[in-house]
Amino acid sequence: MTLDFSRDKPIYSQLVDRICGDILKGNLSLGDRLPSVREYAVETGVNVNTVQRVYKELEAMQMTETKRGQGTFITTNEERIIQLRDDMKKQLAQSFLTSIEALGFSKEEMILVLQQK
């Protein structure tokens, strides 16, 4: 694989987003095992510690459960996933609103732009 990473955001953060996305989209199923930190490090071309940080973040979000010696698994708690999905949606919307307000755009004009794309 060896992914491309944008430089304006930490790699670990981009990987968290990617995995979150895969889970929320259903590309990964509840209970699935993620690659080991070493495997995933090789796949993506980053350091083991970076992957560890990714898995740590995911676990802190209660999106995964980590078992030493066994691996990291996507939570089987479906409610938690649903809740996370909703939280993220709200958070995305809120930070978007904050940004546009800071630059003086109205919600309505931005929605128009979005609809045109």
Partner DNA sequence: CATAGTGTAATATACAACTAGTACACTATG
Partner DNA sequence: CATAGTGTACTAGTTGTATATTACACTATG
The residues that bridge with 8 in the sheet, in sequence order, are none
Residue linked to tokens 């309505």: 108
Q: Which of residues 63-102 bind DNA (CB under 7 A)?
A: 66-72
Q: Contact 55/72 with Cβ under 8 angstroms?
A: yes
When the beta carbons of 45 and 97 are compared against a copy of itself, the nearer one is: 97
Q: Contact 35/43 with Cβ under 8 angstroms?
A: yes
Which of DNA, a copy of itself, none lies near 89, with the C-beta cut-off 5 to 8 A by kind? a copy of itself
Q: Which of residues 4-63 bind DNA (CB under 7 A)?
A: 5, 7, 10-13, 34-39, 45-50, 52-53, 55-56, 59
